[in-house]
């Protein structure tokens, strides 16, 4: 009975993997809307992984979106000799690890301020440009994301950049823009809505 059950599980796994490969081939051949199938299929898995690594719900939401966007833009690097779920899992895991690494280094750097010969204090803030799979980002898909960002007003574009490129948290953004924390969250929520609306219309659906 156990062997029969195991065989069934193996069969289901292989069928799921084959289904993913077919969908990915569609995406690589230009059917970028097919990505919504993979996003819906693995959204719960990736959210669960990130929630185990990151406790802040706001950060969890951001990192889930970042992980799927990275997978979408790097889809041409996927090789079908291993499961798409494992590839996506690695991207999400690396995204979280990098996020936590930057946070720890920033905290350490702030605690370890040092002065130069002039007596001015400096803080060593680590380079935040690293992103898993950066070298394999597909140029066309990046253009789609850039086009989506271009539709945002300067106010929303700036706050998205501060959150996702500069890796600032909500409180840091509020302080830099001299805005109430609630206003920052509202602006980010609205900016994401507009961004995802564009992506849904022109490319792929990312669940809210």
Banded pLDDT at 104 (limits 50, 70, 90): low
The DSSP string of 44-85 is: HHHHHHHHHH---HHHHHHHHHHHHHHHHHTGGG--TTS-HH
Is the domain of 116 the same as that of 200? no
Of the three residues 82, 117, 136, the one that is the final residue of a domain is 136
Structural domain ending residue among the three candidates 110, 136, 162:
136
State pTM to two decimals.
0.54
HSE, CB side, 13 Å, CA atoms: give it for residue 160.
Answer: 22
Q: Which residues pair with 121 in a beta bridge?
A: 115
Q: How many domains does the chain have?
A: 2
Give the confidence band of 117 by pLDDT, cuts at 50, 70, 90.
Answer: very low
Answer whether residue 8 shows pLDDT above 70.
no
CATH code for the domain of 118: 1.10.1740.10
Range of the domain at 107: 1-27+34-136
Burial of 138 (0-12, 13-18, 19+ CB in 10 A): middle
Residues 208 and 198 in one domain: yes
155 and 67 within one domain: no
Q: Among residues 63, 69, 72, 60, which one has the least CA distance to residue 31?
A: 72
Residue where a domain terminates, one of 105, 136, 167:
136
Based on the domain organization, do 7 and 74 belong to the same domain?
yes
84 and 171 housed in the same domain: no
């Amino acid at each position: 009975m156990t062997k029969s059950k195991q065989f069934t599980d193996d069969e289901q796994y292989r069928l799921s993997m084959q289904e993913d490969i077919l969908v990915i081939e569609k995406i690589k051949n230009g059917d970028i809307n097919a990505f919504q199938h993979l996003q819906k299929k693995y959204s719960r898995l990736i959210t669960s992984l990130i929630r185990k690594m990151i406790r802040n719900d706001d950060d969890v939401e951001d990192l889930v979106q970042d992980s799927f966007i990275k997978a979408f833009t790097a889809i041409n690097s996927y090789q079908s000799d291993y499961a798409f779920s494992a590839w996506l899992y690695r991207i999400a895991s690396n995204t979280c690890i990098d996020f936590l690494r930057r946070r720890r280094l920033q905290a350490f750097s702030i605690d370890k301020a040092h002065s130069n010969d002039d007596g001015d204090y400096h803080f060593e803030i680590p380079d935040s440009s690293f992103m898993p799979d950066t070298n394999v980002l597909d140029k066309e898909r990046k253009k789609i994301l850039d086009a989506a960002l271009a539709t945002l007003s300067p106010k929303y574009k700036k706050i998205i950049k501060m959150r996702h490129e500069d890796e600032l948290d909500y409180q840091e953004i509020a302080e830099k823009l001299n805005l109430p924390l609630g206003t920052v969250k509202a602006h980010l929520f609205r900016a994401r809505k507009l961004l995802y609306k564009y992506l849904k219309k022109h490319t792929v659906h990312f669940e809210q």
